[in-house]
Amino acid sequence: MTMRTDYCGTLGSADVGWLTRLLRERTIDIVHTHTLGSHVLGTRAARVAGVPQLRTEHHVMHYSGWSSSAFTRWAAARTERFVAVSEYVRGVLVRTAPLVAARTTVVRNGVDERFFAARRRPDGPFSVAIVGRLASWKRVRLAIVACAIAGVPLVVVGDGDERRSLEDLARCRRAPVRFVGYHKDPRPFFAACDVTLNTSKGEPLGLSVLESLAMERPVIAFASGGVPEIVQDGRTGWLVEGTGPLPLVRALLRAKVERDRLSAMGAAGRRFVERHASIGSMCRGYAAEYEALCRPSARRWLSGSALTEERPGPSI
């Protein structure tokens, strides 16, 4: 049995004791951690309980952030196996934490291709959407400025700290932008647009990009992070270079002019998801990692490490 933990509460001995008892009572074979808080708590409890740990690296910021790096690296030094969600993430680990990279396999996040089923493209005016958290590193302001210059309607699906300033920017630019907030089910917004945008800097992978491709909507995105691994330039979308809005403007105008190509590009994107980024392919990747951790060699690695409870220090 595998236990996944995303718990981000306190990190004191009471929490470690509670999770350790749970691991033992439920005879857990593997602890699978995902977030910074669970990296520390899950690692401490797994070591006391003598259970191997698999950790998924969804991003790399916690390896360099001053408030998180020490905790991240302490836990990483005591974790048996890692999964990176893209080759980009693993590449960053090679440069910043080579010992972690040596124990890392890439398993791309998958989307439910049946849930995110293909839908017919709208007949109305050309429009685009951007789906995601409204945080500064997502750089949604570039999408707003580009759509204002190109005169292309934009729907922003999501919420976050940047929303108010982005709304102010849209009003100032008189941009044709509609903010609809967070929606648990973004499918209607994917279905209502011709193309989606991704303006993030160093996006580890881009789950909304995969969702868009699954619904046969091409993607315009910056050629950075893990996005080039899932968007094929000129085939399932357009990858743009640079840092400002003008490359986006050119790509938007090209997509608008070449609207008759979008159906074929969307179908190619759907095929990519079915073959390389489905729920099934993700599950097979994790199943192989779980199986490897249950082998005697993994247990020997664990038994050779200190299983006493240790508190995170400032560094490793």
Domain ranges within the chain, ordered by starting residue: 2-110+278-303, 128-276
Please give the structure tokens belonging to residue 191. Answer: 């279905």
Q: Are 2-110+278-303 and 128-276 the same fold in CATH?
A: yes
pLDDT in tens, 160-192: 999 999 999 999 999 999 999 999 999 999 999
Does the pLDDT value for residue 256 go beyond 50?
yes
| Largest separation between any pair of C-alpha atoms in the chain | 64
**Residue 129: exposed, middle, or buried by beta-carbon count in 10 A (0-12, 13-18, 19+)?**
buried
What CA–CA distance (Å, rounded) separates 249 from 238? Answer: 12
Does the pLDDT value for residue 9 go beyond 60?
no
What average pLDDT does this structure show over 206-229? 97
Secondary-structure class of domain 2-110+278-303 per CATH? alpha beta
What CA–CA distance (Å, rounded) separates 309 from 40? Answer: 12
Reduced to 3 states (helix: H, G, I; strand: E, B; else coil), residue 174 is coil
Nearest-10 crossing angle of helices 13-25, 36-49:
60
The predicted structure's pLDDT at residue 261: 95
What CA–CA distance (Å, rounded) separates 114 from 18? Answer: 38
The predicted structure's pLDDT at residue 223: 95
Edge-first strand order for the sheet with 237-240 is: 177-181, 154-157, 128-131, 195-198, 219-222, 237-240
Please give the structure tokens belonging to residue 44. Answer: 């401490």
Tell me how crowded residue 190 is: count the other CB atoms within 10 A of its CB: 23
Lowest mean pLDDT among 3-12, 70-79, 139-148, 157-166: 3-12
Instruction: Identify the CA nearest to 106 among candidates 89, 123, 125.
Output: 89
pTM of the predicted model, to two decimals? Answer: 0.88
The letter for the amino acid at 116 is F
Does the pLDDT value for residue 296 go beyond 80?
no
Secondary-structure class of domain 128-276 per CATH? alpha beta
Does the pLDDT value for residue 314 go beyond 60?
no
What are the φ/ψ torsions at residue 98 (nearest 5 degrees)? -60, -30
